[in-house]
Chains A and B, each alone.
Chain A
Amino acid sequence: MTEHDDGMNRRKVLECMTWAGTGVLWTITGGVPASLGIIDEAVAAPAKGFTFLQISDSHMGFDKPANPNVKGTLEEALARVKTLPVKPSFMIHTGDISHLSKPSEFDDADQIISHAGLNVRYVPGEHDLLDEDQGKLYLDRYGRGTNGAGWYSFDDNGVHFIGLVNVVNLKAGGLGNLGNDQLEWLEEDLNGRSASQPIVVFAHIPLWSVYPEWGWGTEDSARALGYLKRFGSVTVLNGHIHQVMQKVEGNVTFHTARSTAFPQPAPGTAPSPGPIKVADDKLRSMLGIACVTFKQNEQRLAIIDTPIQK
């Protein structure tokens, strides 16, 4: 554990990014997420505290050459959950559960994901709102107890979790969009909360500007981040771009998870962000899930305002 408590150095980040497997284990020490390394390493040194999983972009129904078996890879990704040293408390799904919002696609996802035996908290991706009523199907299924297009918050083990929706009412020429109603709700949700409470925000499209040329960013995320500024520890978890990316800005750590369905190119390395076809034996190295462990340690929490520089 000592080694891991040092936080994640650059080499480890790169290891995580290129590791040929399905999961990266994250720990939040003193509110700041750090890698526990690959799952095999973590098995030898189980983390204390609580753990949750992030799964993203399962795209049930996708059947193109980049991965004609998205059900299979989702199953494989979830099978890896069983190898974790600590059983996760719950799971978040950061959207694009389905490819075309068909009931059968949601059924497949639910059926496979239920094998993990975990509570799942969802936010929608743009692929989940393609039914005739533009999202009714998603809300009927996953939106109970949520606000507006499906945003909500909850507390777990002292951490405040906020699920945001940035895939509705997208404007021509624009990026992801939270909208005024949701931002007002967010401001209210955070109002009066202690700045020392760790915050985890999750949404489909990155809440930071990854690559606006491909729409990889959120138009009005700056306002959301403004409300989060006073908090000592903020972790933002996204999907959408089907690859691991991380950025630390002040007390905010941004992280995107892999897809379980197909990889997408690194920003600007292809004519478009469309699925990339890789060699069959390489595909699984580019898909996966993320695991976040919150280590409760009062001493560490005391230094919550000091983010680890990477």
Chain B
Amino acid sequence: MTMIKALTRLLVAGVAAAYLHAAAPASADEVAVKIGNFTFGPRELKVKAGTTVTWTNEDDIPHTVVSQNNFRSKVLDTDGKYSFTFTTPGTYKYFCSLHPHMTGTVIVEATTGSLASPE
């Protein structure tokens, strides 16, 4: 009985750990970009691969977040949000397709080094 209990506890702990391990990078690497006064803030962002960036429109006018061939949000009305997870390193230039003078950049760096962390 106690043996089974202990095993179960171990199993549950293991599953939980595995789950946490998988979820951790996503929840830890979330970055917010504010859209306000027809500008993206911050305008240039440096993140590690795997980071999810969430844009929130705080203007009274709708905006979009568009990076040619990479991603395209639907129209974001006031308080509208759009998230994109950057998995591939590189420089992502984006803009608002309604107001193209609004531009921004996300620079995604490889996660080298962080892989070294032991299990």
Contacts and interface: CB of A to CB of B under 8 A. Distances in A.
B75 interface: yes
A185 interface: no
A100 B62 contact: yes
Contact of A175 (B60, B66, B101): B101
A28 to B, nearest CB: 33
Contacts of A127: 62, 98
A130 B75 contact: yes
Contact of B100 (A64, A99, A175): A175
A174 interface: yes
Interface in B61-84: 61-62, 66, 68, 74-75, 77-78
Contacts of A99: 62
Given A100-B75, A100-B77, A275 B100 contact: no
Interface stretch (B22-30, B46-54, B89-97, B106-114): B89-97
A162 to B, nearest CB: 24
Main DSSP-derived SS at the A contact region: loop
Contacts of A85: none
Interface stretch (A114-122, A266-274, A283-291, A296-304): A266-274
A21 interface: no
Given A172-B68, A172-B95, A173-B95, A214 B101 contact: yes
Nearest to B97: A170
B99 A274 contact: no
Interface string A132-145: 10000000000000
Nearest to B62: A100
A70 to B, nearest CB: 12
Nearest to A213: B101
A132 B39 CA distance: 24
Interface in A146-172: 170-172
A291 B119 CA distance: 74
Q: Which of A101, A171, A172, A173 lies at the interface centre, i.e. has the most chain B CB atoms within 10 A of its CB?
A: A172
Contacts of A272: 37-39, 59
B104 to A, nearest CB: 9
A215 interface: yes
Given A126-B97, A172-B66, 18 more contacts: A99-B62, A126-B99, A130-B62, A130-B98, A172-B94, A172-B95, A172-B103, A173-B95, A175-B100, A175-B101, A212-B101, A213-B101, A214-B101, A215-B99, A273-B38, A274-B37, A274-B38, A275-B60
28 contacts: A64-B78, A65-B60, A66-B60, A99-B62, A100-B62, A126-B97, A126-B98, A126-B99, A127-B62, A130-B62, A130-B75, A170-B100, A172-B68, A172-B94, A172-B95, A172-B100, A173-B100, A173-B101, A174-B100, A174-B101, A213-B101, A214-B38, A215-B99, A271-B37, A272-B37, A273-B38, A274-B38, A275-B61
